[in-house]
Amino acid sequence: MNRIVGLGGLAMSLIALAMGIFVLFGGRVQDGDTTVPAGERTFYMTGLEYKGSTSTKDLPAPPVAPNKIGDGYRYKPPGEADKGDPTKWEVSTYRWEPGLLQVFRGDKVSLVGFIVNGDHHKVWIEDPKGQVVVKEQDWQRGREYKASFVADKVGYYKIHCDEHDPSMTGYVLVTPR
């Protein structure tokens, strides 16, 4: 069994190494001057809420309420999470899935978002210098939305949700072509 797990870990390491080399060389394929052509990259993202609960019998409630740390975290302390069980407490957080995307400079990025949890999400996108490239939109549960921009700067573009930052921040990594 250990040999199988070891081989799986080795395979994953080799894949990660190959991806790193690909990004390091700007996406150039090593068979001459071939590069990945500029184009439109479409990604499907989902707005989700993750929830977890336990009992003070198993784990004490957190000393600092998670919702005091950031807007994206929710907390129901013992006595509020379940009226029938005064020991139960619950935490949750909002996220984009996938949370990290990669494109090349010059690509047109189209994000198709679907909201599963949370009635309202004020969503906007900013470039690596903090300039807004997609103005704020109200994305609502059970609906699909589209936002597009040209990734003309190398670095991380941020996909924000005003109500649920910092946990509901997605990233588009733009690398040189």
Quote the pTM value: 0.74
Whether the CB-CB separation of 68 and 139 falls below 8 Å is answered with no
Neighbours of 82 (CB within 10 A): 15
The set of residues, in sequence order, having a beta carbon less than 8 Å from that of 165 and lying 6+ positions away, is 70, 71, 72
The domain locations on the chain are 1-30, 36-60+94-177, 61-93
The set of residues, in sequence order, having a beta carbon less than 8 Å from that of 119 and lying 6+ positions away, is 140, 141
pLDDT band at 1 (very low <50, low <70, confident <90, very high): very low
Lowest mean pLDDT among 20-29, 63-72, 136-145: 20-29
Higher pLDDT, 55 or 11: 55
Specify the CATH number for 36-60+94-177; select among 3.30.70.240, 3.40.640.10, 2.60.300.12, 2.60.40.420. Answer: 2.60.40.420
Pairwise CA distance, residues 91 & 78, whole Å: 11
